[in-house]
Structure 1
């Protein structure tokens, strides 16, 4: 193809006029060093030159496109789910339309302002520092993907920082009276024409006790328990123990499976849940059958509202805090509790230090 006229804009960008058309063509090198040809759709040379930047920029992906490209390559695990949730819910809605190489510090600042505001509106509290760090980690993972794939240079990306996160508050636990009210609530006796609702309420009634007497985390930990992960045995002394193997959750990625003890008071609840799990036709036969922990969480919120006990900081996870609080006040060694609950003595001291101090004081004055 013959060229009638050519204008070099710089070493990697030029426009030219072929002999078979009056429309100026653009030829440039992309970020990977590959020559790309595009039509400017302009017959006037000045207007053709003016359109060059917009044409090249049109090939730069938006943040939302890079997020989806990154997501497709990630393994399906808890970390990925946390990052994807942060991206979809708190990041993409505010900067998803931006070009990946054109995000300003103001865009990031506005994103945090809007996300934190929406978080407060929906959750009834400010996000913790760890939540904001998770948002940062998710966005940095996408930024790293963009850099590695030549979509952007690291100098074009804004810096991320956390300044406004709230410090962790004391864990909220249920009182004995509150637990009694929840377990004996008329909520579980309410008639419903929906069979699924009836099954969820039945499951919730005993799921509460199962968490209360094991200290297991509601969510990924409890969701991954299969019927075969629980076994019981009598000791030589005639004591009865029930063991639960935790294979999924917050700490298993780093420490592997752990075995926790289900207290005797929770054995009946386990047997009732076994009835639900036995209906599961899946390969692993989940203890909760086909009932998701998300549905149980929603039902528990309805239970709290039914009893007039709802607070934003009370949830099924609070049953774990109730378990730990009771054990600490009983004088159970923190090392035993940490092993049972899949946490560390440092974390217990950080979140329950007021209880251990209180216990120490009571022992010192004996």
Structure 2
């Protein structure tokens, strides 16, 4: 019989660590806003390491829950077999379509052998293109439109099963096309890719052999995090921000929000930063003795005519985009799911994507926040807006 002992509470009691005899590893549990408990093993016997793993898992789970994304997923083969069983049950009950026999054959003969070990929510457009190339090589002739249509219909059955089981979200389904058209979506980062970036930036900044490299990387870390949490354009719009451009917006209920005035290609505007931007700005402040001698509120009240994004020597740099490219190569995220290169500008599109995924901001308000037109938002992100409203139309 397993016995729970050594209960420890961290994060103000939100995360519970404990041991369960005879297992020697620390276990953890926490409750998300949906009131469901989540449990996992930290895989550590050392308590400090266990705390780090548990809190990271807690933060990631809250992040995924916030954007209505699955906390776990399954391999393609597992989901495919469930989809096949569903179609077989419908056929046996006399309510299935005859084409289901073709779908089942396509899944078992072609799709599963190729995608078997791939996690269902990680399949990208590039994976689908590679699959088609594999089929072309296998049959040594162009694929018929009817064949591609059957593949797509079979994949949709599998993706629908994964969505119904909570193993992926609609926004994670790659677009299926017989013609392989890219569309007008711009390179961005998915939620799981963004988690990888946030984690890797912490360690990558300390890996530089030279001081100048480490200083560049620590600035890049905060620059990337601030861009992704404000939606501002990289380059002149963000590089020209000075401490005098940042202020508090106070509400009658006592809450307050960081407001940043920027000059972009559509003119001057004031945007609202997400709350975690405060952490990143304070971290930048701490690198400079003259700024760190003040409280953060005093710093903003001083209205200093000093650039925010500077290296420790006080100088600005034009090499952040190149440094970000090196980082993306390091973490293997330079290419997006369409095969296009991502840059610092992709953080702006990531901001737009995640904001729309939350479903709390309309495209008109998002356009004003980002200093762009409603037409541009609709052109590049309407697929997300439609996906989130799907339930209203069904």
Please report the TM-score for the alignment, with normalisation by the length of structure 1. Answer: 0.48
Work out which structure has the larger RCO, using CA pairs closer than 8 Å and 6 or more positions apart in sequence: 2
Please report the TM-score for the alignment, with normalisation by the length of structure 2. Answer: 0.45
